[in-house]
Amino acid sequence: MEIRYWNKDIETADIKSIRSLQLQRLKAIIASALQTPFYKKKLPSVGINSPDDIKSLDDLRRIPLTSKDDLRQNYPKGFLAVDTSEVVRIHTSSGTTGVPTVIYLSAKDLDAATDIMARSIYATGTTKNDILQNMMSYGLFTGGLCMHYGAERVGMMVIPAAGGNTKRQVQLMKDFRTTVLHITPSYLLHVRSKLDEYGVNVGDLALKKAFVGAEPHSENTRKKIEGLFNIDAYNSYGLSEMNGPGVAFECVHKNDLHIWEDAYIAEIINPKTGEILPDGSEGELILTNLIRHAMPLLRYHTRDLAFLHTDPCPCKRTHRRLSRILGRTDDMLIINGVNVFPSQIEEVVMRIPEVGTNYQIYVEKEGALDRLVVKVELYSKIFLGEAKQIDNLKTKIADELRASITITPVIELHEPGMLPVFEGKAVRVVDNRPKL
């Protein structure tokens, strides 16, 4: 198999050179971090007052971890290192409450992130001759735009289809002979179930590959997707806080994800003790972004559970590889690729006077897709006796939730006192989706 590299020198550099590049870039990022209100306070408290205080990569361990909560408390500008006139793009991601987390990119940062994205795309054997249908949401979510930019950098023809409207998606695939999809695994399975309904055979399409991401999935799901569409499916990993989908990507060998170590420093810690674990041990992935200066983020808690390893890959890339995501250290739900925290739902439900304080969140499968059901109780004293009032209330709750979590849940209104009451720890979230 011919292996194509986007940047052969860096992708196949010996590990010593990669570490040396990481140190050099870490020092530069520390210089930028010291410009931000947050790290300006945080770093001197551990004796880091200038980039020169970082002598080796081991000094990274002195830097305290940064969490989503830090981002929330310092929203919107506490992590910004430059004047907004230097910023060319922002993205946001769901926070644990109504406050989102925001990232800022300068023109240079965006260029660097785009290059990493292009490198990821290229590693799957995709070239400028391919046609990408990008079926991730555009807008504030990084999955759409960041992939779009990377694919354009490769020179592909990009169809910015975004999510939804499956019938039109299939029409686009037919009309423009789409060869590569960027999509969540659950939506891809849903598309397959719709093809028969539309009278379209897989053979009528020109699909060769899919980049699947934004939600954890098993090797079995990949196999199923590959079998159903007769394509290769490549796992991708990323998070908005780290510039989106190109943090780690599978190469043509589809054997775990190459994490781009010139752009990110990856560590695995024991989520309970914080102890740094050796390669091969499962724990929480901690990432330091080395290529974003407008908004530096050091040792960020991804809350994703995984492990890193150095097994040689036949593609000869030397960067360590990241396993599939094995779980989360928090209660974040991933619903059709969208990250949702139960606390976001609680915050919305609690401020709606027409419902009681008891609620439950159910997640289930409806065909290949996820369905979020929020069950709340009607507050008895506000009932005026009209069905329309209840219908309007359900719409209002759904609208307010959508404004916070970006997806529209099904609202179930229950009689006062009918949802289970818990004396100990309340079981608010019931995830009935099959385990991975």
Neighbours of 435 (CB within 10 A): 5
And the tokens for 299? 């040792």
CA separation for the pair 181, 133 (Å, rounded)? 5
Least Å distance, CB 381 to other proteins, is 8
Least Å distance, CB 436 to other proteins, is 30
Query: Which residue, 190, 180, 187, is CA-closest to 232?
Result: 180
Least Å distance, CB 401 to other proteins, is 17
Cis bond before residue 314 (omega within 30° of 0): no
Rank residues 198 and 383 by Cβ distance to other proteins and give the closer one: 383
Least Å distance, CB 423 to other proteins, is 19
Q: Are 174 and 128 in contact, with CB atoms under 8 Å apart?
A: no
Least Å distance, CB 346 to other proteins, is 21
Rank residues 381 and 435 by Cβ distance to other proteins and give the closer one: 381
Plot region of 19 (φ>0 → left; ψ -120 to 50 → alpha; else → beta):
alpha
Least Å distance, CB 378 to other proteins, is 5
Q: Are 63 and 46 in contact, with CB atoms under 8 Å apart?
A: yes
Rank residues 385 and 424 by Cβ distance to other proteins and give the closer one: 385
Rank residues 46 and 418 by Cβ distance to other proteins and give the closer one: 418
**Strands of 209-212's sheet in order across:** 157-159, 131-134, 180-183, 209-212, 232-239, 244-250, 257-259, 321-322, 308-309
Rank residues 281 and 389 by Cβ distance to other proteins and give the closer one: 389
Least Å distance, CB 379 to other proteins, is 8
- Which parts of this chain interact with other proteins (CB under 8 A)? 378-380, 383-388, 390-391, 412-418
Query: Which residue, 32, 6, 10, 23, is CA-closest to 295?
Result: 32
Q: How far is CA 398 from CA 327, 343, 384, 411, 432, in A?
A: 28, 16, 20, 6, 21
Cα 81 to chain center, whole Å? 23
Q: How far is CA 130 from CA 39, 163, 192, 222, 223, in A?
A: 43, 20, 21, 21, 22
90 Cβ contact list (under 8 Å, min separation 6)? 102, 103, 104, 105, 140
Rank residues 218 and 392 by Cβ distance to other proteins and give the closer one: 392
Least Å distance, CB 410 to other proteins, is 9
Least Å distance, CB 233 to other proteins, is 37
Amino acid at position 388, single letter: K
Q: Are 68 and 55 in contact, with CB atoms under 8 Å apart?
A: no
Least Å distance, CB 248 to other proteins, is 42
Least Å distance, CB 411 to other proteins, is 9
Rank residues 47 and 353 by Cβ distance to other proteins and give the closer one: 353
Rank residues 175 and 415 by Cβ distance to other proteins and give the closer one: 415
Rank residues 207 and 411 by Cβ distance to other proteins and give the closer one: 411
Helical spans, DSSP H, in 199-354: 219-229, 342-350
Cα 122 to chain center, whole Å? 20
Rank residues 265 and 355 by Cβ distance to other proteins and give the closer one: 355
**Strands of 355-366's sheet in order across:** 410-414, 369-378, 355-366, 429-431
Assign 104 to helix, strand or coil: strand
Rank residues 233 and 376 by Cβ distance to other proteins and give the closer one: 376
